[in-house]
Chains A and B, each alone.
Chain A
Amino acid sequence: MKKMDPVCGMEVDESTRYKSLYRGKVYFFCSANCKAEFERDPEGYLRSGPRSMPE
């Protein structure tokens, strides 16, 4: 099943190893960078939606 990366907006597969659990919900990422970025400010990303690929 495809999911959306909440940081960059890319579509990612559920089987990815880059995932995070926040408030009981699992989020999937395209890369370690996006995951780290999300974990730095989960509320921000969930409120305003995907921005762009982090540096």
Chain B
Amino acid sequence: MSQEKGEKIRVVGMHCATCVNTVTKSIDKVNGVNGVSVNLATGYAEIMGNFKLNEVVDSIRRSGYDVESQDIRIAVRANPENASTILDTVSSTDGVISSHFNPATGVLSVKANPLAVSPEQLLERLKGYNASLLESSEAGEVSVMKGELTSMIYSLVVASIFTSLALYFQYSGYVLYAFISSVPVMFYAGRRYFKGAYRALRNRTADMDTLVALSSGTAWVYSVVNLLNGGTVFFDAATLLVTFVLVGKTLDSYLRFRISFIHVPRLQARLSTGETVDADQVNVGDSVIVKSGESVPVDGIVDDGEGEADESVLTGEPLPVEKGKGSPVTAGSSLVSGYLKVYTTRSGSRTYMSQLVQAVNDASTSTVGLKRTVDRITSYFTPSIIAIAVLTFLVWHFYVPAGIALLFGIAVLASACPCALGLATPLAIMVQVRRLSKKGIIVRRGDALEKARNIRTVILDKTGTVTAGQLKVVPREVIDQGGLEMAAAVERLSSHPVARAISSLSGAEMDVSDFTEFPGEGVMGMVDGHSVLVGKKGFIAKNCDVDMEGDIIACIDSRPVASFMVKDEIRDGMKEFIDELKRSSEVMIATGDSSAFADEVGRELGIRVVKGLTAEEKAELVKSRERAMFIGDGVNDVLAIKQAYVGVSLSSGSDMSKQAGDVIVASPTAVEILIDGSYKLERRIRENLVWAFGYNAILIPLAAGILYPLLYLPPQYAALAMSLNSVSVTLWSFLRP
């Protein structure tokens, strides 16, 4: 039985006693929780029991609150196939909420409860992995990879020089000098492999380092022994092996470094004072001038001027958007024509663009389900290779001299590459997340991308999601045109959006007296001695005999003259999109609106509408469905988005809903591309795995000498071919359309 623990966390967003109840309940229902006390004043929750912290945090988040957490990024030097061991170590530490390790960049991201664990404690747990803390997130990752690459190149240069010397001396018969030249190759350039092998041994595993160390080490030790006995030496094989592995790994590091990050372009901002500064030096409130053809350097509001901005970087929408006084502009978009003076609201790393880039970089590093299977396979991989190598040696031992038999065994060790297997999944995710971001689909959580293809139900919010969110008033029945004009004249005095829409139906100028507005209900006024009343049907019905259908009714002298429907236009392409979705999943609309228009939208699109729902009811509906995707944009959609199997929010939506979404899209129809991307991801992962496995499956028998003497792979070439396996997986991932 595992022991009980107590943990203190800080809950964010509680402001009333009900919140305390909700949070308490949400914690209490988590498996293994035996007791909980939540303090409203301090925000602290103390939890007792034997529970998983991430389940507690999930449950609190689902109930609409958040938990204070700290993002810790640690650079870890480990082979891709060790990813799961590292994650196990970290996630079993108290206070760790979630952790991701990206073998492609060597960066471990941990979300932790700052009250329970410090970054230093995590480093302590990872002792033996050369772990070091990263300062700021992105800059840190870049510098880790750069450092790694520089050290690789340095080792490679040393290895190349001394390997050439060793080869020259060995082939000229100066075996002692060959031995001396081989020492820097083995113990300086190749030290990372020996250190890695030692570390793996201490953790009772074996990885790529073990294989390289074993193969080159065996060849070298065998040669040293023979040097003393006067037998055949293989300093050439030992040194070339290390050098060739380094060639492949350096190339691999370089490729991954080049493609691992999306960078926010460095922009310059021209202040209205005439000064030009770096975009991140701009302060909130500063005025920035943007001229035609330039990039907008900050997020802000247009203060003066007009123009057309290309926002495709953010939305994927190729058509430029018109900007005038009061329009919001976003850093990273570019001004196609015109001239803008922008009032800065966000700059530097706080801009929407920077946050998206950070989100995409984070999502690229997430791991998905299939990877766990791969990790299990890789843990058997290395021991099996060692067994095959030993077997190869034993078999050949009967047919050829022991030295040659040993070379076959070494070649087997050198030819096998578990790291390509480890890279197959993260690389595929990285590529898909990147590609989708270019189409304006921001995947904030990598697992959402994997899950998107499994959805069974799609639930859409109505206003602003299925519809464009712009109110439109359409006359339904007009008995008296003159009455309609009078109604329009009275509505002109109100600022309500529906009133404005009605007033735009007629241009006739009329004098209105005795104007009275009933907020949220309607208006009343006198025109040419007639009493004019316009408003919601329920309001009008108390004052006039309404015998018309419609959302808004106009009455002149207690006689209905016109009725209107309030509509919101269904987005372009919505029908086709929904028809396509219906082929594989159940589709429905969940809306807070209870008007007849909601039903009409459902009829037009041929789907079920659940109307008049509160935010909680929407979330309940999502919960009641199996593997439901929810697409929404409003504050009232946040709970449903969080509750969903895959939560999608619109980039035009509220900031809160965007924070909640697993994926952010510019238009709901982009979900089709997301689902397609999800299928592609699965295919790519499989392809990468087949490639990596296939490569090994061909190389290992060749190295074992199955075609000897027809075709024979000396250890050094086996090592070269092996290290090119991860290069090829990387290239294949990025070059494939």
Contact surface of A with B, Cβ cutoff 8 Å: 17, 19-24, 26, 39, 42
A26, B558: Cβ atoms closer than 8 Å: no
A19, B543: Cβ atoms closer than 8 Å: no
B558, A21: Cβ atoms closer than 8 Å: no
A21, B539: Cβ atoms closer than 8 Å: yes
What's the count of A-B pairs with C-beta under 8 Å?
23
Could you name 23 residue pairs across A and B whose Cβ atoms are closer than 8 Å? A17-B519, A19-B516, A19-B518, A20-B518, A21-B516, A21-B518, A21-B522, A21-B524, A21-B533, A21-B539, A21-B542, A21-B543, A22-B542, A22-B543, A23-B542, A23-B543, A24-B531, A24-B543, A24-B558, A26-B516, A26-B524, A39-B542, A42-B542
**Which residues of A lie under 8 Å from residue B533 when comparing CB positions?**
21
**Which residues of B lie under 8 Å from residue A21 when comparing CB positions?**
516, 518, 522, 524, 533, 539, 542-543
Closest to B535 in A: A21
Q: How far is it, in angstroms, between the C-alpha of A17 and the C-alpha of B204 when the chains are bound?
A: 76
Q: How far is it, in angstroms, between the C-alpha of A22 and the C-alpha of B533 when the chains are bound?
A: 12
Closest to A17 in B: B519
**Which residues of A lie under 8 Å from residue B516 when comparing CB positions?**
19, 21, 26
Least CB distance, B319 to chain A, in whole angstroms: 42
Q: How far is it, in angstroms, between the C-alpha of A45 and the C-alpha of B531 when the chains are bound?
A: 25
Q: How far is it, in angstroms, between the C-alpha of A19 and the C-alpha of B522 when the chains are bound?
A: 11
**Which residues of A lie under 8 Å from residue B519 when comparing CB positions?**
17
19 other contacts beyond A17-B519, A21-B522, A23-B543, with CB at 8 A cut-off? A19-B516, A19-B518, A20-B518, A21-B516, A21-B518, A21-B524, A21-B533, A21-B539, A21-B542, A22-B542, A22-B543, A23-B542, A24-B531, A24-B543, A24-B558, A26-B516, A26-B524, A39-B542, A42-B542
Q: How far is it, in angstroms, between the C-alpha of A4 and the C-alpha of B533 when the chains are bound?
A: 23
> Which of B518, B524, B531 has the largest count of A CB atoms less than 10 A from its CB?
B518
Q: How far is it, in angstroms, between the C-alpha of A39 and the C-alpha of B542 when the chains are bound?
A: 9
Q: How far is it, in angstroms, between the C-alpha of A23 and the C-alpha of B522 when the chains are bound?
A: 15
Q: How far is it, in angstroms, between the C-alpha of A23 and the C-alpha of B533 when the chains are bound?
A: 11
**Which residues of B lie under 8 Å from residue A24 when comparing CB positions?**
531, 543, 558
Contact mask for chain B residues 491-530; partner A; CB cutoff 8 A; 1 contact, 0 none: 0000000000000000000000000101100101000000
Q: How far is it, in angstroms, between the C-alpha of A32 and the C-alpha of B71 when the chains are bound?
A: 48
**Which residues of B lie under 8 Å from residue A20 when comparing CB positions?**
518
Q: How far is it, in angstroms, between the C-alpha of A18 and the C-alpha of B381 when the chains are bound?
A: 77
**Which residues of A lie under 8 Å from residue B524 when comparing CB positions?**
21, 26
Q: How far is it, in angstroms, between the C-alpha of A30 and the C-alpha of B628 when the chains are bound?
A: 47
Q: How far is it, in angstroms, between the C-alpha of A42 and the C-alpha of B543 when the chains are bound?
A: 12
**Which residues of B lie under 8 Å from residue A39 when comparing CB positions?**
542
Least CB distance, A42 to chain B, in whole angstroms: 7
Closest to A20 in B: B518
Which residues of B148-180 have CB atoms within 8 Å of chain A's CB atoms?
none
